[in-house]
Structure 1
């Protein structure tokens, strides 16, 4: 294999602590895979394997495939000499070595991310019901205000998010409920979160379950306290590679350093400039930076990339350069000065060359116009260029949905890669609607809703739906009624009759346990592959809940399915990751900027680049903050963390706000570096809430583009 500068030095690694800062498109997966195959072919200690640790299941499959390919080139079996694991599966494997020492029950099980969210939500909402006056007392909005109910609902969601974030924070700090209680003074957000934490831990113990944070905590404690186990595992994994190291949190880093302590052979690869998960996780990009700066660590950057045209590289580098002199001192380290370099002209995979200058910025009157006009532009582009890959990158899932609706109206080809894409929701929504009807079979509205899931076009025929609403359900399903001739003339009439027969068949299967009933429905719906896997996951989850709550009947199960949506969508995302993703030419991909990380397209639209989505100054109004909270509580998580540390609230909130500014700058960098040739950034001047302004960084990008155009 021909290596580029930077890649070559990493590929020659023989041992020790190594940090590899890698720019977007530097080929880190290829180089790490080649290095693993090289070390295996040169001979590992008896029984030893190269351990590759990553975050996503998709990355696991990718590494397994690439390492296998390189081993085959060396005439070695594909699956020999290495393991690829997610951090959580690694922690679980470590605990399985000594379950007695880790204080694990024989029948313990793992609480997956979706179920954990559901459990915390249930605990927090129950707490709100019991502490309503206390919970509402922090709001600075009068009950008579027109948006009071909207603020209340938003505050309810944010309180759940506060509980989710702080429970993870407590665990990443290694704290117990008793230790958190000891730090509580007064009745601030920390006191609330301490109560959530205690209830959550009690519930886990009752269920005999561990969450992902527990896995990491106990694995760390086991490694650090058991010299024999640590030595044995070190012999089994004489080399450890970590991918996406910029997304590590303190617990994850602690685990890997403990594993590598015996032999000191640890390679950590990452890009601090792509650390964009801090808002959602406890990851901290400073950990990887600090590791790379250690005296006992060798740092070998990989800076050459063939992904993007020279103009896009210059734009990304210009953003990095501007950040070094950012008007907010705290933002000057938002982006590390790791400047992307194009590959050599004779590289077998050169950088793409644009036909002229194909970067631009466009402003629109309001958000509605921006969504409509960008959608039209993208639809026209794919019609003219069916061989090109295209994506629209939005800051939120809600905005992805707005583009989806407009593109559907335009009959433009699109594919949604959001956290909760519509096509993955359909199976869950179908099952939920059908179960809701079966739970209350006398309800005409539920019958109509279930029938529409079976015959979607029925929603557009009010004559039939209106009739279904007024005739008793029993008569519709079992009676010998004379249907009005005006209804039987519709083309979909036979489908409606078949749908009613199917609903009757499922009612007759009500003797089955709820989990078996779901599988019966899935079979009759003809679900295949990923859709069937989602239904099977739902059935397993229902069976698990019925084991915990044996008194539940179908109405309660149907309600639980609605509440399990996030968990099931999370499972769908795992299936999606395993299936992999490759952009299809001529199709507009819709995705959030966060989820776009790791992907690339020929043409990219970055939309809604406003100061509220990509803030650049402390005074910018940030969408994530809430005007109905007092100034010192506007960021509840920061306020709670400040209380935990005994720090000044105002200082903590200022620091949290500055960190958000830094993360949004990195998010903009990630979005820009998804483009190969063409890039358009857009913003709008007004929303229904008032005037907006462009992001501070967008003004600087405009100057860089002007210079680029003039240089052509």
Structure 2
């Protein structure tokens, strides 16, 4: 064995005995599922002699792809293995397939619609529809005396309509439905969205472009319909592995089935109780559950993360949801698999250092955020060796917490809500470098690159500014590639000499495909693991929308600018520091906290609205549409067109069931982020000053903790 038996738990040892076939690994929080997956892959390569290139790894998050592959390849290198394995997301593998067989599709090359182009395109089409059909939707708006109020209502409807159209297009493509194959009955919401889908797809067809959602559809269709293609792709891998399988989509599952058909060797790893992306994506956790039922199952149930009291709280939530939830349709939201304290390896924190507290804070969420910040600061000063997190429901509430924390200069706070200035600076360096690669003969772009990298090179920006004019007077060629004895010598600044030498090396490498060059830049430019991860995340985003061979450096720079303009708010938690930092308070949304852990967690916002149990807890949709959810109604009509199922709930009721199920899982995730202490809180009033009730789940957990 590659790993000592003493550091492996029984279920992990069972996984490493895998000899082939379908294996479903269902893992509880903190059980080391990714570690176990890595160990199995290394075992297959080093001990059993499987060439690494015969293994394919799939991850849900684009950002996790490079990080996971890098860790495994590093371990293989330490074992003396020369080859490298590949990691993919669904869409990156689909793009590889389409690029490999693009001639069979009638394309000279795969031309992807860039993300910012798609956003502008859908905005233009939806605004056009709204202008031309105002007689249909404007009567739905409540009449108001104030022009400003009417403008806000129109803007809210416009945003909802655009979101609905975007989801209809995305979901239709996940069902592999072209616009002409969908028929909407009557004048429902789907009938409103279909003209936008038709116009959108007509423009894609006219320009010969594919969008991001076309990739998996086209790849699966190609494999299914072309026997030669299917025979070839079945030979690509002998073993397939999927991480975070609870977030897998139907198309991803189908693609994995097709690629593993020859060997049947498919290993899928996930935690069905941590599926918290279904309201944002096409992820459907039921598919992973079904795979585990129909395959050889292994449950990783031992976890050393949390104290027993916190584990008991999480297990009680699972048991209550499965047996006592008042809505029977939500009794399958959580899978009954209990977390067990570890028997091997690191020990769990003890109950003597654990605590669980509940607080109903008088006032609105703003007052709750101030009070939670105060409690966290007090806890930090009492236990400075611990790591802390405040989890919030929205970025806006998180910003209020950060403002409260930053009124105390002695308190270190970490922002995981959205991009921070240091991250923008790291990405901006890549953009400026790409602009320089696009026009290396431009003195202005060379100087801009020097200014962006001055601090990195050890040259204070104040000193760099003093050299700017002299650099602009010399051609870039002579600065970067000076002839021996030339008079065009740089100022006597060793960091500036080193920077020019580095820019020259990168420029020579820039003749290679741009992804290779950027990854080289990332490895050279960035130092910490978080910086390297962020750099690789950006390259992954670029590869999603730009062709490896046809995109030029200016296009790469422009797409990095698009990422800076919009995509940074969606950075995954992996783009930040992985390890909790002792003596600091992290602020994050609860969704972003998945995969992380802290000694003490403050979970805020446990109102009935945010964590609903019954339909009455959360009025849905746009209030001026009588509780209807346009997006849910349109997608329900779309699903009915795909596979009619008589007796279904209304779309809005189904949307509530889906949301309530995800919030149960989100609460489970939040509880299991805490190692030693957990504080759960809610405000007595909502954002509008109206009285609000704590979630029924708040009362349930309070009762469990009291009885425990």
TM-score (norm 1): 0.76
Aligned residue number for residue 178 of structure 2: 176
**Segment drifting more, 352-361 vs 392-401:** 352-361
Cα distance in 2 for partners of 1:666, 1:195 equals 36
- Mapping of 1:160-559 within 5 angstroms? 160-180=162-182, 183-294=183-294, 297-324=295-322, 325-344=324-343, 347-366=344-363, 367-411=365-409, 412-421=411-420, 424=423
Change (3 A) 1:54 1:562: closer
Query: Contact between 2:682 and 2:694, CA under 8 Å: does it hold in 1?
Result: yes
Give the deviation of 1:386 after TM superposition.
3.1
Change (3 A) 1:133 1:562: farther
Cα distance in 2 for partners of 1:401, 1:163 equals 30
Change (3 A) 1:358 1:46: closer
Residues 344-386 of structure 1 show CA distances to partners (whole Å, capped at 9, x for unaligned) of 1xx2311112434411111101222211111112123333433
**Segment drifting more, 418-427 vs 225-234:** 418-427
Give the deviation of 1:611 after TM superposition.
0.8
Aligned residue number for residue 37 of structure 1: 42
Task: Describe the SS at the equivalent of 1:677.
Answer: strand
Task: Describe the SS at the equivalent of 1:360.
Answer: strand
Cα distance in 2 for partners of 1:212, 1:8 equals 39
Report whether the alignment pairs 1:139 with 2:141. yes
Cα distance in 1 for partners of 2:564, 2:390 equals 26
Task: Describe the SS at the equivalent of 1:588.
Answer: strand
Residues 59-103 of structure 1 show CA distances to partners (whole Å, capped at 9, x for unaligned) of 223322432354356x332x5252222221111111222111234
Give the deviation of 1:162 after TM superposition.
1.0
Give the deviation of 1:211 after TM superposition.
2.1
Change (3 A) 1:702 1:199: same
Cα distance in 2 for partners of 1:112, 1:658 equals 34
Report whether the alignment pairs 1:121 with 2:120. no
Aligned residue number for residue 110 of structure 2: 108
Give the deviation of 1:590 after TM superposition.
1.1
Task: Describe the SS at the equivalent of 2:679.
Answer: strand
Aligned residue number for residue 659 of structure 1: 658
Cα distance in 1 for partners of 2:427, 2:207 equals 26
Cα distance in 2 for partners of 1:122, 1:305 equals 50
Aligned residue number for residue 89 of structure 2: 86
Aligned residue number for residue 62 of structure 1: 67
Cα distance in 1 for partners of 2:277, 2:707 equals 33
Aligned residue number for residue 449 of structure 2: none
**Segment drifting more, 377-386 vs 26-35:** 377-386
Cα distance in 2 for partners of 1:82, 1:611 equals 47
Cα distance in 2 for partners of 1:157, 1:425 equals 27
Give the deviation of 1:392 after TM superposition.
0.8
Residues 538-594 of structure 1 show CA distances to partners (whole Å, capped at 9, x for unaligned) of xx99x99xxxxxxxxxxxx99x99997653426x837x8467533322221111111
Query: Contact between 1:389 and 1:588, CA under 8 Å: does it hold in 2?
Result: yes
Pick from 610, 613, 617 the counterpart of residue 616 of structure 1: 613
Task: Describe the SS at the equivalent of 2:600.
Answer: strand
Gaps of 5+ in 1: 431-494, 506-522, 545-556
Report whether the alignment pairs 1:670 with 2:669. yes
Change (3 A) 1:339 1:116: farther
Give the deviation of 1:625 after TM superposition.
2.9
Give the deviation of 1:227 after TM superposition.
3.0
Give the deviation of 1:207 after TM superposition.
4.4
Task: Describe the SS at the equivalent of 1:84.
Answer: strand
Aligned residue number for residue 467 of structure 1: none
Give the deviation of 1:699 after TM superposition.
0.7
Give the deviation of 1:49 after TM superposition.
1.5
Aligned residue number for residue 484 of structure 1: none
Cα distance in 2 for partners of 1:47, 1:11 equals 17
**Segment drifting more, 305-314 vs 229-238:** 229-238
Report whether the alignment pairs 1:705 with 2:702. no
Aligned residue number for residue 569 of structure 1: 568
Query: Contact between 1:163 and 1:196, CA under 8 Å: does it hold in 2?
Result: yes
Query: Contact between 1:165 and 1:281, CA under 8 Å: does it hold in 2?
Result: no
Cα distance in 2 for partners of 1:561, 1:264 equals 40
Task: Describe the SS at the equivalent of 2:352.
Answer: coil
Give the deviation of 1:427 after TM superposition.
9.4
Report whether the alignment pairs 1:679 with 2:678. yes
Cα distance in 2 for partners of 1:209, 1:353 equals 58
Give the deviation of 1:149 after TM superposition.
3.3
Residues 148-181 of structure 1 show CA distances to partners (whole Å, capped at 9, x for unaligned) of 433332222222211221111100110001112x
Task: Describe the SS at the equivalent of 1:301.
Answer: strand
Cα distance in 2 for partners of 1:209, 1:322 equals 49
Report whether the alignment pairs 1:582 with 2:584. no
Give the deviation of 1:13 after TM superposition.
0.6
Cα distance in 2 for partners of 1:110, 1:394 equals 36
**Segment drifting more, 272-281 vs 230-239:** 230-239
Change (3 A) 1:229 1:425: same
Cα distance in 2 for partners of 1:402, 1:20 equals 40
Change (3 A) 1:578 1:237: farther
Pick from 51, 54, 61 the counterpart of residue 56 of structure 2: 51
Cα distance in 1 for partners of 2:300, 2:636 equals 38
Task: Describe the SS at the equivalent of 1:363.
Answer: strand
Cα distance in 2 for partners of 1:590, 1:649 equals 40
Cα distance in 2 for partners of 1:308, 1:197 equals 48
Equivalent residues, number: 591
Residues 434-456 of structure 1 show CA distances to partners (whole Å, capped at 9, x for unaligned) of xxxxxxxxxxxxxxxxxxxxxxx
CA RMSD of the aligned region, Å? Answer: 3.6
Give the deviation of 1:314 after TM superposition.
0.4
Give the deviation of 1:696 after TM superposition.
1.1
Aligned residue number for residue 628 of structure 1: 624
Give the deviation of 1:688 after TM superposition.
4.2
Change (3 A) 1:563 1:71: closer
Task: Describe the SS at the equivalent of 2:36.
Answer: helix
Query: Contact between 1:57 and 1:577, CA under 8 Å: does it hold in 2?
Result: no
Task: Describe the SS at the equivalent of 2:66.
Answer: helix
